[in-house]
Amino acid sequence: MEILVSIGAYVAAIPIWCLVWGSAHGFSLMRRNRMLSIPFALSLAYLVGNVILLAVYHGQVSGAQYEEARIGIIVSRSGIAIQATASVVFMATIVYGLSIKRVPLHFVRFVVYAFIAILAIMAPILWIPARQSELFFILRHVQTIALNFGLFLCVAGIMVLLQDLLNHGDANVSLLGGVGRDDMER
């Protein structure tokens, strides 16, 4: 039963991811910056990959201690994502405050959505009775979905920020590879 619920969570997360990406204006931004298709596609790949792994290997529910240990791994990875995102926001604020004077709206939007996914969905505590390891199993998969959303939204935000810095800087570098025409003529 818990395997079907977890598979259902991943399947439901696919259209939810598309809605979140769309509300962050990800689809319209992908038309201008094709690199943004990478975090979008990778998030979908991880969702589908987890569905396949659960369906093929019929993930087993282990004891509560094992499930808690897996949740610990998810929490530690979310901590890394939060620290990385906070660092980027801090540095962007300083760089943009001293030079360009405006932080890109799309960067802020992606970062806010990443924080919502990581902090609002993963961080709240859900008390599960120790004998209900099946619920830990389901919680682990729901938190995995939220972590993946947060990570790939954070990556998209960083990509938007870097593109904006390149647009406002003196460097003529393309994120799609190579150097700009001005650099080749020198």
152: Cα within 13 Å, side-chain hemisphere: 24
The Cα 153–Cα 20 span in angstroms is 9
Highest mean pLDDT among 17-21, 100-104, 126-130, 175-179: 17-21
Q: pLDDT category, 184, cuts 50, 70, 90?
A: very low
Cβ partners under 8 Å of residue 135, min gap 6: 2, 128, 129
Q: What is the pLDDT of residues 137-158, one digit of tens each?
A: 788 888 889 889 988 998 999 8
> Considering all CA atoms of the chain, what is the largest pairwise distance in Å, rounded to the nearest integer?
69
Task: Check residues 172 and 169 and name the one with the higher pLDDT.
Answer: 169
Does residue 9 contact residue 98 with C-beta atoms inside 8 Å? no
- Sorting pLDDT into bands at 50, 70 and 90, what band is 73? confident
How high is the pLDDT of residue 48? Answer: 96
The whole-angstrom separation of Cα 27 and Cα 33 is 10
38: pLDDT strictly greater than 60: yes
The reported pLDDT for the residue numbered 186 is 42
Q: What is the 3-state secondary structure (H, E, C) of 92-122?
A: HHHHHHHHHCCCCHHHHHHHHHHHHHHHHHH
Report the pLDDT averaged over residues 53-67. 74
Judge whether residue 112 has pLDDT over 60.
Answer: yes
Ranked by mean pLDDT, the top range of 37-46, 84-93, 153-162 is 37-46
Percentage with pLDDT > 90 across the chain: 27
Prediction pTM value = 0.77
Spatial separation of the C-alpha atoms in residues 152 and 119, rounded to whole Å: 14
Once rounded to an integer, what is the mean pLDDT over residues 75-97? Answer: 75
- Tell me if residue 127 falls in helix, strand or coil: coil
pLDDT at 182: 47
Average pLDDT score over residue span 105-116: 88
Residue boundaries of the structural domains of the chain: 2-166
pLDDT digits (tens, 9 = 90+) for 10-37: 999 999 999 999 999 999 999 998 999 9
* Mean pLDDT score of the chain: 80
CA distance linking residue 83 with residue 79, whole number of Å? 6
